[in-house]
Amino acid sequence: MTYEIPESMITEVFWNGARIQMVLISSAGFAAFLYLFAKFQATQPAIPYFFLMIAGALLAQLMAMPMLHVEDVPIVLSLPLPHFDSPLIWLYVIGFAAMLATIDVIEQVMSNAAIQKIDPLQRKCNTNNSLLAIWIANMSASFFGGMTNLDGLAKSTTNKLAGAYTKFSVLVIGLVVLFFALNTQYLEYMPKFSLAVIMIFTGWKMILGLWHVAHQGQYALLLAIVCALLVYRLGIFEGLLLALAMHGVINLIVLRHVDDLKIRTIIKKYLERFADKGGAN
């Protein structure tokens, strides 16, 4: 999307004047975004995003460029009852749902632990309430064709940096999302290159996350890389299952032959890792 041009400007020459101009605009937008992010990430982290979106929308009024297109589908309430011909597909769907639920729970618990550390008011997160809210939201969304979601650390971090400490900020975010969900036509004022810059930046930040994994040791880094490659080649369901299986087998071998533990003791140690020792927050 950083070099995409309108169909009317496409010629037999790929690198024509319009495409080169689009690349230069995308590069300038990316450079400005990085500069503003480095300058305001600790005080006003929303500035680079607002700048890129507003500048892109204004620039699109002066020259032709590809714009976002959001298909407006009617909101229809229906029972989420799929129809599959093969029992094997049912097993696949159930396994996929169990995997997503497990990932959501683990990520939510970890996010709550991190949120408690960055909260200026030192409040305690109620994990049971968080999981109940996510369960209600995801179950309700399934009746409208929605996908699973959860409240993440990134939103809480942005709230903290922006000075929004109360629950009212969550309501404001929800209202903004609801507005654009009901008025998708306003999203079409954003050029594609603006979204592409944000996506590239977000993807790069995710790749840099491997550096944080490296602090946990060479094994954790290698497992993360192998997991990423498996997910890329096979899909998230198969990739994560294979990575978890590899991790489990390696731990079993280490605990069985290096630490000389019995299978019963190993299973007990596995269960203790997921035990609720201090009670849910």
The string of pLDDT tens digits covering residues 238-275 is 787 888 888 888 877 877 776 677 777 777 776 666 55
* Same domain assignment for residues 177 and 86: yes
Average pLDDT, the chain: 81
Nearest-CA neighbor of 189 among 3, 62, 58?
Answer: 58
For residues 70 and 76, what is the distance between their CA atoms, to the nearest angstrom? 17
* Same domain assignment for residues 149 and 90: yes
Phi, psi of 161 (to 5 degrees): -65, -30
Nearest-CA neighbor of 272 among 101, 109, 264, 111?
Answer: 264
If you count DSSP H runs as helices and E runs as strands, how many of each does the chain have, helices first? 10, 0
Compute CA 243 distance to the chain's CA centroid, rounded to the nearest angstrom. Answer: 20
Query: Confidence band (pLDDT; 50, 70, 90) for 151?
Result: low
Evaluate if residue 221 carries a pLDDT over 80.
yes
Q: Count Cβ atoms within 10 A of the Cβ of residue 130 and give its class: 0-12 exposed, 13-18 middle, 19 or more buried.
A: buried
What number is the average pLDDT over the span 187-202? 88
Element (H or E) spanning 148, and its range?
A: none
**% of the chain surpassing 70 pLDDT:** 90
pLDDT recorded at residue 27: 94
* Same domain assignment for residues 84 and 177: yes
Nearest-CA neighbor of 28 among 208, 207, 191, 209?
Answer: 191
* Same domain assignment for residues 194 and 62: yes
Evaluate if residue 55 carries a pLDDT over 90.
yes
Q: What angle do CA 89, 99, 101 make, to 5 degrees?
A: 115
Evaluate if residue 279 carries a pLDDT over 70.
no
Domain count, the chain: 3
* Same domain assignment for residues 279 and 257: yes
Query: Confidence band (pLDDT; 50, 70, 90) for 227?
Result: confident
- Up-side HSE of residue 56: CA atoms within 13 Å toward CB? 32
* Same domain assignment for residues 155 and 86: yes
What number is the average pLDDT over the span 141-170? 73
177, 209, 241 - which closes a domain? 209
Whole-prediction pTM value?
0.68
pLDDT recorded at residue 280: 43
Query: Confidence band (pLDDT; 50, 70, 90) for 278?
Result: very low
